[in-house]
Amino acid sequence: MDAFSALAPSWTEKAVHAHGFNCPTCRKSNVEAAKNVWINRRSPVYGEGQKRKWQEFYHCECGCAWWAWSSDRPPSELGERPEREPNRPFFDPLDDW
């Protein structure tokens, strides 16, 4: 619900950078085990080809908090929304950037 809130939830403070979209502790994927998610859209970074990327924080059910770049997210096979328009900014009525 608050994945796009402006303020970082407290559990993100101890998040570690995961290389890949798996929990560094239990190796479960964000889709399998994330009980909470927060997207740091306040600090987007421009990667290759002017494509924006940002930090995605996941709170795993094992208690570990981790984050990875949105650009590193693998294509999902588990029913996540397909990205039809990758360059379209997220719609958010409260957005002010």
Residues contributing to the site for Zn ion (CB under 5 A): 23, 25-26, 60, 62, 64
Query: Whole-number minimum distance, CB 93 to Zn ion, in Å?
Result: 33
Please enumerate in sequence order all residues whose Cβ is within 8 A of that of 2, keeping only pairs 6 or more positions apart, or say none. Answer: 9, 38
Shortest distance, CB of residue 34 to Zn ion, whole angstroms? 9
CB of 48 to Zn ion, least distance (A): 30
β-strands 16-17, 65-69: how paired? parallel
* Residue among 10 and 43 whose Cβ is closer to Zn ion: 10
C-beta of 12: minimal distance to Zn ion in Å?
Answer: 15
Measured from the CB atom, the residue of 63 and 89 that comes closer to Zn ion is 63
Instruction: Quote the DSSP letter at residue 47.
Output: -
Asked if residues 45 and 53 have their Cβ atoms less than 8 Å apart, the reply is yes
- The CB density around residue 37, as the number of other CB atoms within 10 Å, is 16
Q: Which is nearer to Zn ion, 15 or 23 (CB)?
A: 23
- Nearer to Zn ion by Cβ, of 21 and 40: the residue is 21
- Residue 67: beta bridge partners? 17, 57
